[in-house]
Amino acid sequence: MSLGTLFVIAAPSGAGKTSLIKALLAEMDGISVSVSHTTRRPRPGEEDGLHYHFVTVDAFRAMIGRQEFVEHAEVYGNFYGTSKGSLQTLLDQGRDVILEIDWQGARQVRAQFPECISVSILPPSRQTLEERLSARGQDDTEVIARRMTQAIEEISHYEEFDYLIINDNFESALQELQAVILSQRLRLEAQRIRWKDLLDQLLA
């Protein structure tokens, strides 16, 4: 077994997933966010290898052919995928890894990493979700309506996840997410590997 744990975190757009994960990374050591491969062009300020691994369509298709992705999808004409090798390398190094993904990708990941821990983050109400989407000021009403439809589809799959966090109060939701991470780190199997020398000494 790997010392690190793979955490699959899914949420509808506007539920606050990205903000929660950013705060989590600032407060907890030994945890990374998986960097996806994509065929879309970098946006201003994005760095290759930090925000995404930017590749050509041909290179992406070749990776699909070699079955190098644990999950992949086409979104608005661009391909996105998670490298199975890069995930396994981090886990084998003892790092916990967060994979931000939708419910469909989570299904693909569970098929290949059945030991992963999945977390669904939901808003406290539809009204709050719509207000958060509108508050961004980036989309018109038609786009917001489409995002709401997609969000409800995402929410409908919450029962497929191991943990459910309602992001009503940000600090409370962050503490709950931290508790999920910590509980996995304290599992007997992980602790037995992490503290092998100490356990051997205690039983000598």
Q: What is the pLDDT of residues 71-92, one digit of tens each?
A: 998 887 899 999 999 899 999 9
Averaged confidence pLDDT in the chain: 92
Residue 25 forms beta bridges with which residues? none
Mean pLDDT for 92-119 is 93
Q: Indicate if the pLDDT at residue 137 is higher than 80.
A: no
Per residue in 36-70, pLDDT (tens digit) is: 999 999 988 899 988 899 999 999 999 999 999 99
The CATH number for 6-34+96-203, chosen from 3.30.70.890, 3.40.50.960, 1.25.40.10, 3.40.50.300, is: 3.40.50.300
Which pLDDT score, from 0 to 100, does residue 138 have?
A: 66
Give the DSSP H or E segment for 180: helix 170-185
pLDDT at 185 over 70: yes
Bridge partners of residue 3, in order along the sequence: none
At residue 204, the pLDDT reads 93
The DSSP H or E segment spanning 53 is: strand 53-54
Give the integer Cα–Cα distance in Å for 140 and 134. Answer: 8
Per the CB < 8 A criterion, the answer to whether 69 and 86 are in contact is: no
User: Is pLDDT of 121 > 80?
Assistant: yes
Q: CA 200, CA 53: separation in Å to the nearest integer?
A: 42
Q: CA-CA distance, 113 to 105, in Å (whole number)?
A: 12
Q: Are residues 148 and 130 in contact, defined by beta-carbon separation less than 8 angstroms? A: yes
- Going by pLDDT thresholds of 50, 70 and 90, the confidence category of residue 1 is low
Q: Do 179 and 165 contact (CB within 8 A), yes or no?
A: no
pLDDT at residue 142, as a whole number: 86
